[in-house]
Amino acid sequence: MDFGIKNKWGLVCAGSKGLGRACAESLAEEGVNVVIVARGAEALAETAAHIGENTEVEVRTVAADITTPEGRKEALGACPQLDILVNNAGGPPAGNFRDFEIADWEKALHANMLTPIELIKSVLDGMIERKFGRIVNITSAAVKAPIPILGLSNGARAGLTGFIAGLSRQTPMHNVTINNILPGAFATETMNGRMAAMAKQSNQTIEDVAESRLNAIPAGRFGEPKEFGQLCAYICSAQASYITGHNFLIDGGVYNGTL
C-alpha cells in the first residue's frame, strides 16, 4: 500500500534510538524526508547514515535537547516545512513518589507534557493552512494502566493525553490529525536499563526480571521497535485522515480489558 506521504517532511524527536528511530526509519521508507533530533551526535549520525543507505530521502540531524526552548528552536529551524511531527523524549525515572521533589515533577512535565504541547503550538497552524498534518505523540501503556513506580510518567503523560483529547477534535476538518501511541514493553535501551534497575533493586538477575515480564505478555515476547515504527507510519499516512484523538496501545495483549 502506498501511504501517500512521499516527499513530505517529518520531525522525529528523540529519534536516534529505540522507538523514535524506528518511527524515523518507517517514515523514511514511505518517502518522508526526516529531521531527527537527539542529544548525542554519534548515535544520530549512525541512524542518519543507516536511513541514508536504505532510502532515497533527505535526512537531517539536530543534536539538541528537545526539552529546552533552544533545542526546539533548532529542531524546527532544520525543517523546511513540517507535515509530520513525532513527539518523543526520554521517560522520567522510576521511584517512590515520597522522594520526588517539585523539580523532579517539573522535569517530567517539561519532557513528557509541555515539550510536545509547545512543538504542536509551533507547527499546527502551518499544517492547518497547508491542509495536511499528522502529529503522533509517543506516550506509554502506563497512561492506560498506571505502573506504580512510574508516578512521574503516569502523571505527566496523562496530562498530555487529556490535552490532546481536546485539541485533536479541533483539527481533522483541516486534514490534520493528532494521535498517541502507547508502547508496552519494547526491546530498547530504555527498557533494558529499567530491567537492570529492577534486578538490582530486587536482588535478581536481569534474566529473571526479563522472564517474569515475558510471562505477563500474552504475545510471549517483547515488542520490536520496527512494528512500532510501522504503526506510526500508518497513522501518518494519507489514508489515516479519519483517525484522530486515539490512543493506540501496542503491548502484545498485556492490557486485559474488553475495550
Least distance between ligand NAP and beta carbon 139 (Å): 7
Report the chain's terminal Cα–Cα distance, integer Å. Answer: 28
Least distance between ligand NAP and beta carbon 2 (Å): 27
* Secondary structure letter of residue 101 according to DSSP: -
Least distance between ligand NAP and beta carbon 178 (Å): 17
What angle do the packed helices 41-54 and 18-29 form, to 10 degrees?
30
Least distance between ligand NAP and beta carbon 46 (Å): 11
- Of 119, 117, 103, the closest CA to residue 64 belongs to 119
Between CA 22 and CA 230 the distance in angstroms is 8
Taking the least distance from each CB to ligand NAP, the nearer of 57 and 86 is 86
Taking the least distance from each CB to ligand NAP, the nearer of 34 and 176 is 34
Taking the least distance from each CB to ligand NAP, the nearer of 89 and 176 is 89
Least distance between ligand NAP and beta carbon 94 (Å): 10
Element (H, E) at 247: strand 247-250
Pairing label, strands 9-12, 33-38: parallel
Total H helices, total E strands in the chain: 9, 7
Taking the least distance from each CB to ligand NAP, the nearer of 67 and 230 is 67
Taking the least distance from each CB to ligand NAP, the nearer of 23 and 176 is 23
- Of 222, 195, 100, 193, the closest CA to residue 151 belongs to 100
Interface with ligand NAP (CB under 6 A): 14, 16-20, 37-40, 43, 65-67, 88-91, 138, 140-141, 183, 185-186, 188-191
